[in-house]
Amino acid sequence: MIRRTIGFLCLALSATLALAAVSSPLLLHVPPKDHARTNPLAGDPQAANAGALIYRDHCMQCHRADAMGDGHKKPPLRSDRIKSATDGDLEWFLRQGDLRHGMPSWSSLPETQRWQLVTYLRSIQ
Q: Which residues of this protein are in contact with another protein, per CB under 8 A?
A: 1-2, 5-6, 9, 12-13, 16-17, 19-20, 23-24, 27, 46-47, 49-51, 53-54, 57-58, 61-62, 70-72, 95-113, 116
Least Cβ distance, residue 58 to another protein (angstroms): 6
Q: Which is nearer to another protein, 5 or 80 (CB)?
A: 5
What one-character DSSP code corresponds to residue 117? H
| Chain-centroid distance, C-alpha 54 | 13
Q: Distance between CA atoms of 49 and 53, rounded to whole angstroms?
A: 7
Q: How far is the CB of 56 from another protein (least distance, A)?
A: 9
Of 81 and 111, CB closest to another protein: 111
| Distance in Å, CB of 97 to another protein, minimum | 6
CA dihedral sign of residues 80, 86, 89, 94? positive
Question: Looking at residue 103, what DSSP letter applies?
Answer: B
- Closest approach of Cβ 86 to another protein, in Å? 19
d(CA 37, CA 16): 34
Q: Which is nearer to another protein, 45 or 80 (CB)?
A: 45
Round the CA-based radius of gyration of the chain to a whole number and report it. 18
